[in-house]
Amino acid sequence: KNQVEQSPQSLIILEGKNCTLQCNYTVSPFSNLRWYKQDTGRGPVSLTIMTFSENTKSNGRYTATLDADTKQSSLHITASQLSDSASYICVVSDRGKLIFGQGTELSVKP
Amino acid sequence: DTEVTQTPKHLVMGMTNKKSLKCEQHMGHRAMYWYKQKAKKPPELMFVYSYEKLSINESVPSRFSPECPNSSLLNLHLHALQPEDSALYLCASSHDRDAGYTFGSGTRLTVV
């Protein structure tokens, strides 16, 4: 069964600190892997999208990595800000069909 | 224009009402989607339109009726909804099914 699992389920960090969110997937075949940020009550906003051949992609303070051999991805957030508080969702595309993870709820405290 | 615009942002409707949600994009995307999202859950796919034709209906009840009048617009007509249909309804678009999606900000629907 195609699945996307994220960890941790929730995370609290202090402003200015770094953090790493994990995503493991069993989706096969695999087209691409996406990370989205979703503020409460708003639509998801795309952070990165990576294909099979890409190992890392950055978007400002966000850096995503992908290991297609172990079917693992991570999202690293550098120098966190209060505005980073949101749900981060890992999404894997199986030929256009999106498989969503349950998300990691990140809370950045002052 | 790189946005997907959804209206209204909030909607409260009774179980006997008829209402419509609207979605608009001007990025030339040929695939458009409706998703339903309950609190603290990932979005669930409802409908997919590809080149203005309905290509996927994820067994959605007939009280939800999608419509794609042209390549820029997507509507979701609502009739005789139930309180459990209360959720955030998200519209998204993409160049093709495997490209990155642009999501709208959603319509927060409450059925009373």
pLDDT tens-digit map of B92-101: 999 987 888 9
User: Which of B21, B40, B49 is most worth mutating to test chain A (most A CB atoms within 10 A of its CB)?
Assistant: B40
pLDDT of residue B14: 93
pLDDT tens-digit map of B55-93: 999 999 999 999 999 999 999 999 999 999 999 999 999
Q: Which two tokens stand for residue B67?
A: 């419509």
C-alpha closest to that of B92 among B83, B81, B100: B100
Residues in B closer than 8 angstroms to A102, CB to CB, are 41-42
pLDDT of residue A95: 79
pLDDT of residue A1: 73
Test B42 with A101 for CB contact under 8 angstroms: yes
DSSP of A34-103: EEEEE-TTS--EEEEEEETT--EEEETTEEEEEETTTTEEEEEE-S--GGG-EEEEEEEEETTEEEE---
pLDDT of residue B88: 97
pLDDT of residue B96: 84
Given a cut of 90, is residue B33 above it in pLDDT?
yes
| B94 burial type by CB count under 10 A (0-12 exposed, 13-18 middle, 19+ buried) | buried
Given a cut of 80, is residue B35 above it in pLDDT?
yes
pLDDT in tens, chain A (110 residues): 779 999 999 999 999 999 999 999 998 888 899 999 999 989 999 999 999 899 999 999 999 999 999 999 999 999 999 999 999 999 998 877 889 999 999 999 99
In this prediction, residue B6 has a pLDDT band, given cuts at 50, 70 and 90, of very high
Residues in A closer than 8 angstroms to B45, CB to CB, are 98
pLDDT of residue B100: 86
pLDDT of residue A17: 98
Q: Which residue of A has its CA nearest to B100?
A: A49
Residue A64 at interface with chain B, using a CB cutoff of 8 Å: no
pLDDT of residue A94: 84
Q: Which two tokens stand for residue B95?
A: 């160049």
* Cβ atoms B50, B39 nearer than 8 A: no
The helix, strand and coil proportions of chain B, stated in percent and rounded to the nearest 5, come to 5, 55, 40
